[in-house]
Structure 1
């Protein structure tokens, strides 16, 4: 007998709540991760989605990653759906309205850490697969599910999953991870909802600026000691205007939004591909979010110096987080920073370096499939490509796949997006269920 739809929906919501209650906080040092927390998550996942675990082949990846294979009649052009199990910590002083690990349902929302990033999409994928398995459905091609365990700390599980797929000779048709959403309020003056699909990511590089000196007692300071010299360097880095340009994906983003923009902007947006320098100047004046769509950014995020108010520092350090725009490079950014600082006593230490991801195609059957599925579930939304400012596990999959997309099929307001990695993270109950339906339709139409 077919499972009643309402019962299936209730089960999906309860699964999300149960998994949000398990605080799968990842840490940079593995020994700092709560003992057994991912084992509890796996046990709950198995209990909530028994068919997924009984009928799909599962391979453990790294410390707690999970890689499932749902075999179809063909292993050619398989699809990879991704999400991650881990969440960022909750700061003790953040003013949550509801317990961040309580998963309370209040006023039509499920509240809690991970409801959007990224347990909501993870549970939606599992609920879609579980219901299709229960209905006797088999996908037209192999489907792989990868759920990483250390995305929030830029860990190794995604790289290990790529190695496992490469070892098996898997060459995905497309990969779909978190990233964009069905958003509103992303562009001033554009009221229409936008299904924003990431087709690339900026590269993330972290650099430390270090200055060493003699230090000493604060009563007899030497001129331009380590802290002052570092402060001057920080000011110079902050003043850099990295070159602006509009990549193909950003031009297409605005071209698709042109019919919905205020009348004075429509001619510019319609011809975004041919008027890129002008569009870059306009975006640069619309605020930091719009400006970041056109250029590399570098921001000082951490500072350290003297351990006491009456001690001149012997070492001062500033951490700089760099987001490298598509079309730019890490080496070029570092060269601009060194020229701007112009001080041999400021040492640059590169902690990690990642180039921008290659652009995935938009004029392609895989993207059109995502767009068509959006049209079925979110008929009010315009599907647009964009370049992600943040990083996801999917960047590692560009090594084995030319079509890597980043989209969570959940409606998210500007306020909700601001709650990711902050407080009051929440997902609408109906929005989550729409996400489940979106994955169901996607899997049903892979042929």
Structure 2
């Protein structure tokens, strides 16, 4: 028996096999945890098991592609192209194997059980990582595996870069990008997670559309810390450490960063606005003339739209005290800052300092990362990606946008001018809301459409 047949599932239907492979990988709890601070650290065992399971599930890929380990848990595959100079301008498809923590509490189906429910368009696989980001990782491997089975060889090299710590630092992707830079590789196209196929996400536009991130926000973590004299809780001072920290947080919340329409957002508004109902179409297609009005309109649309227009700050952790009857000697807050493309880490930090306006609140900047350069929404790389999307979804409206999250692809902007953030899945508003939250899930049909889109893209490369 060949290595391929030994490792293959006995399931004959390739779509059914793909779904079962996804479920097998979602069941492995590859949870990333911070390397510092309180709480447990990342357990390396599930990541080793994940890599071994990839080899078992995809023997043909591992027989025909080169694989090397990069960073702590990262994997880098090379599919050699057939053309002259094929290695110099490859296509890079990215995903990450790690997920954020999850417990069973509040989930309709356990987060690492990979349960499958429903039928037809409602058939769904539930579990942490189904969307973020094992769904894309498996869809990429399925596309490569199917093309290998069909005897296809790409014109240029194809690299698969799978990180294992995107949720905490992205050091695996940083190492992969550095390794490629050392080898003189400049990818012609990089595709990572980001936008998706959505609907009801833009005012006045009823039809579905695909959003491709041309850039992504910068990210940094701020630690706010107040240190004061402790003591017995029976005789509290008028302004303890916790009160001072609370005031700083309220001041920060009351002074949001300025909102504006950058060139990428203006292009998105024109593109989507051309399909909006009147009178919105008239306004959206004249975005430059109506920019102040549009800023006010979009700021009322909710958190997801507001985040497109400004640097955002979210207080994500609070720490103080060690006993119920003792005044804390220190109080800390962690602030997650997502920096708009027109801003910078320095400007974002300065805005926080001025908003808090208290020298007794110490501010520490951790893991600063600037906003990414803007990739072009034209040219061969962009056209190939759009054509692949429309091969699976004929006539679909496609628009650029600014990705609000941080992805591993930010480390590849130093070696490629064509870095795009797009996961080829149809996602409802409810499904998007489950990222990093309870009940993460992906519809089976949407997942299989993603496989088809990656296949279509690779045929063009």
Same fold (TM over 0.5): yes
Cα shift at 1:257: 1.0
CA-based RMSD: 2.0
Cα pair 1:57 1:68 within 8 Å, conserved: yes
* Correspondence 1:19 to 2:25: yes
Name the SS of the counterpart of 1:293 in structure 2: helix
State how far apart, in whole Å, the 2-side matches of 1:424 and 1:302 are.
22
Partner of 1:358: 373
Alignment equivalent of 1:79, drawn from 91, 97, 104: 91
- Once residues 35 and 202 of structure 1 are traced to their aligned partners in structure 2, the CA distance between those partners, rounded to angstroms, is 30
Cross-structure match for 1:124: 139
TM-score by length of 2: 0.92
Q: 1:18-47: CA deviations, max 9, x gaps? A: 111111112223983335212221222112
- Identify the match of residue 406 of structure 1 among 390, 415, 421: 421
Contact 2:133 2:193 (8 Å CA) reproduced:
yes
Deviation at residue 364 of structure 1 after TM alignment: 2.3
User: What is the CA–CA distance in structure 2 between the aligned matches of 1:48 and 1:274, rounded to whole Å?
Assistant: 55
Contact residue 238 and residue 300 of structure 1 kept, 8 A: no
Distance 1:102 1:219, change over 3 A: closer
Contact 2:88 2:184 in 1 (8 A): no
* TM-score of the superposed pair, with normalisation by structure 1: 0.94
**What whole-Å deviation, never above 9, does each CA across 1:244-263 have from its counterpart, x for those lacking one?**
11111111111111133231
What is the aligned partner in structure 1 of residue 213 from structure 2?
198
Unaligned runs of 5+ in 1: none
SS of 1:263's partner is: coil
Distance in 2, Cα, partners of 1:210 & 1:63? 31
Residue in 1 aligned with 2:5? none
Asked if structure 2 preserves the Cα contact closer than 8 Å seen for 1:252 and 1:273, the reply is: no
Question: Which blocks of at least 5 consecutive residues in structure 2 are unaligned?
Answer: 1-7
How far apart are the structure 1 equivalents of 2:232 and 2:116?
A: 57
* 1:29 counterpart = 2:40: no
Match of 2:13 in 1: 7
User: Is the CA contact 1:180–1:196 (under 8 Å) kept in the aligned structure 2?
Assistant: yes
SS of equivalent to 2:146: helix
| CA 1:376–1:155: 2 relative to 1, 3 Å | closer
Cross-structure match for 1:43: 52
- String of CA shifts for 1:204-251, please: whole Å, max 9, x gaps: 111111111112222322222222222221111111131211111111
Shift of 1:356: 0.9
The aligned residue for residue 111 of structure 2 is 100
Q: For 2:220, what is the secondary structure of its paired residue? A: strand
After superposition, the Cα gap between the structure-2 partners of 1:26 and 1:264, relative to the gap in structure 1 and judged at 3 Å, is same
Paired with 2:392 and 2:363, the residues of 1 have a C-alpha distance of 49
Asked if the contact 1:80/1:174 (under 8 Å) is kept, the reply is yes
Query: What are the Cα deviations for residues 304-341 of structure 1, in whole angstroms up to 9, with x where unaligned?
Result: 22323332222111221111101011211222222222
Residues 104 and 111, structure 2, Cα contact 8 Å, conserved in 1: no
